[in-house]
Amino acid sequence: MNYQGKKAAYYTLGCKLNFSETSTIASSLNEVGFDRVDFNEKADLYVINTCSVTNQGDKSSRNIIRKAVKLNPNAMVVVVGCYSQLKPDEIGNIEGVDLVLGTQEKFHIPSWLGDLEKKDQTEIHTTRLQNIKDYHRAFSWGDRTRSFLKVQDGCDYYCSFCTIPHARGKSRNDSILNTVKEAEKAVDKGFKEIILTGVNIGDYGKSTNENFYDLLVALEKVKGLHRLRISSVEPNLLKDQIIELVAKSKILMPHFHIPLQSGSDEILSLMKRKYSTGLFASRIKKIRELIPDAFIGVDVIAGTNGETEELFQESFDFINSLEVSQLHAFPYSERSGTQALKIPWKIEVKERKLRTQKYINLSEKKLLAFYKKNLDSSKTVLFEEQNDKSLMTGFTENYIRIETSYNPDLVNNLAKVKLLSLGANGNVNIAFDS
């Protein structure tokens, strides 16, 4: 069927992986004639790519679905993503939703659209978890200066608090050869920086008998690529070999994102994580030894079941002792079907929020110290496109956000700068190196 002249609008919630997959979905719809329009415009088709990592993810997804239905009550509304796979009936109960497609089905939207007429009843199409096996390539483009390249999907870890393996299935990936080809396509589109994304990217290679290190070595050689960021890697999979590669690479940026989740060994064990605080501390030490100015972001969950006041304090003190640059802290959120629900000691939602705030305050302190440590140094910045044309922002190799006056010639270009001072809004002021 051809949908020439029809308009499609997209909304993505959640992680970078979702962003990359929305681009692939948009390409498949573009091939059958749809023109992409802004989500706030009146469209013939709305595709909402949902997130279900927390209760808040579910709630935000529902709000956006309702917004799409309001924007054009006659448009077809298609809902995909983790929330669709996990709770399709909950979405099906929202008035105005035509199609709910699961993890496997979301990449075949054109085959479900028919004549684009609104359906009398919501259609739900999902595949059982154990049968989700397909891998679909994706990289994001169109709305950001940097591209998120999907290198892996699914997860075999089943941490006790996490619902993602129930939504995305087993760990799987494409070959190094094909992943490099995707990276080349992103470079051909003009991207100078690529950020690797997936559910558990350090686990790369399971389905092709390859490994993450070899993938990095191959991607480093992509012609025309200036920067490659790894994004999140589980601490037990962040091997010395990878840190050493980043330390000597001109393409791999000195930027690590490592999920810790708790700084208490007792809680890590309840979470069924695959490392101890000792292992985690050794990863930070190794990075700091080889790359003293690397940016290190750390994920942490506050108030998970079993986290007594003492264990929270133990976690807080451990994280405080680490030389990391920023924390990404979230309150624990109960997810149905997860093992953590069986842990008897529950923390009040209010207390979870209080603990999260303590981590956020600590994060601000750490980020400030990291930025201050880097002042007076020379760095290279990739400047980003802005909606607000009064200011230009960008990131250094080690992920320091800088700002300067807007100059369209700088967008998606690299320039050498000196980091001068901290600005009022938390960015760093710069001078251009002559």
Contact positions toward ligand SF4, by CB under 6 A? 155, 157-159, 162, 164-165, 199-200, 234
Nearer to ligand SF4, 195 or 199 (CB): 199
Shortest distance (Å) from residue 380 CB to ligand SF4: 32
Rounded Cα distance, 197 and 222, in Å: 17
Nearer to ligand SF4, 198 or 254 (CB): 198
Nearer to ligand SF4, 140 or 262 (CB): 262
Shortest distance (Å) from residue 51 CB to ligand SF4: 13
Provide the edge-to-edge strand list for the sheet that holds 7-12.
Answer: 35-37, 7-12, 45-50, 76-81, 99-101, 123-125
Shortest distance (Å) from residue 258 CB to ligand SF4: 12
Nearer to ligand SF4, 96 or 263 (CB): 263
Shortest distance (Å) from residue 159 CB to ligand SF4: 3
Nearer to ligand SF4, 67 or 328 (CB): 328
Task: Find the radius of gyration of the CA atoms of the chain.
Answer: 22
* Residues 206/207/208/209 CA torsion (nearest 10 deg): 40
**H helices within 72-211, ranges in order?**
82-86, 88-92, 110-113, 164-168, 176-188
Rounded Cα distance, 260 and 235, in Å: 7
Shortest distance (Å) from residue 290 CB to ligand SF4: 25
Nearer to ligand SF4, 61 or 304 (CB): 304
Residue 322 · residue 281 · CB < 8 Å:
yes
Residue 263 · residue 307 · CB < 8 Å:
no
Nearer to ligand SF4, 46 or 148 (CB): 148
Shortest distance (Å) from residue 311 CB to ligand SF4: 19
Shortest distance (Å) from residue 427 CB to ligand SF4: 30
Q: Buried b vs exposed e over 248-267: b needs ≥16 C-beta within 10 Å?
A: eeebbbbbbbbbbbbbbbeb
Rounded Cα distance, 354 and 374, in Å: 31
3-state secondary structure of 299: strand
Shortest distance (Å) from residue 167 CB to ligand SF4: 10
Nearer to ligand SF4, 161 or 383 (CB): 161
Nearer to ligand SF4, 199 or 324 (CB): 199
| Range 403-407 contact pairs with CB under 8 angstroms and sequence separation of 24 or more | 403/427, 403/428, 403/429, 403/430, 404/429, 404/430, 407/383
Shortest distance (Å) from residue 5 CB to ligand SF4: 41
Number of neighbouring beta carbons within 10 Å of residue 285: 12
3-state secondary structure of 36: strand
Please name the residue that has the structure tokens 């091997």.
Answer: 239
Residue 305 · residue 261 · CB < 8 Å:
no
